Amino acid sequence: MTTTAHTGACPSGDERVMLVGLLFETNARLSRALGAELEESCDLPLPWFDVLLQLRRADEGHLTMSQLADATVHSTGGTTRLIDRIEAAGLVARQSCPTDRRAVHVAITVQGNEKLNEALEAHLVHLECRVADRLTKSERATLTELLTKLKGDD
The per-residue pLDDT string of the chain (154 residues; one tens digit each, 9 = 90 and over) reads: 445 455 456 688 889 999 999 999 999 999 999 999 999 999 999 999 999 999 999 988 899 988 998 888 777 788 999 999 999 999 999 998 888 888 889 999 999 999 999 999 999 999 999 999 999 999 999 999 999 999 887 5
Domain extent, residue 110, equals 24-147
Q: What is the pLDDT of residue 91?
A: 98
Count the neighbouring beta carbons within 10 Å of the beta carbon of residue 114.
Answer: 12
Q: What is the pLDDT of residue 22?
A: 94
Q: What is the pLDDT of residue 65?
A: 87
Q: What is the pLDDT of residue 125?
A: 94
Query: What one-letter code names the amino acid at 40?
Result: E
Count the neighbouring beta carbons within 10 Å of the beta carbon of residue 133.
Answer: 8
| Cα within 13 Å of Cα(32), Cβ side | 5
Q: Is residue 16 part of a domain?
A: no
Q: What is the pLDDT of residue 10?
A: 67
Q: Is residue 4 part of a domain?
A: no
In this structure, what CATH number is given to the domain that contains residue 58?
Answer: 1.10.10.10
Q: Is residue 59 part of a domain?
A: yes
Query: What one-letter code names the amino acid at 98?
Result: P
Q: How many domains does the chain have?
A: 1
Q: Is residue 87 part of a domain?
A: yes
Q: What is the pLDDT of residue 24?
A: 94
Q: Is residue 79 part of a domain?
A: yes
Cα–Cα distance for residue pair 119/46, rounded to 1 Å: 10
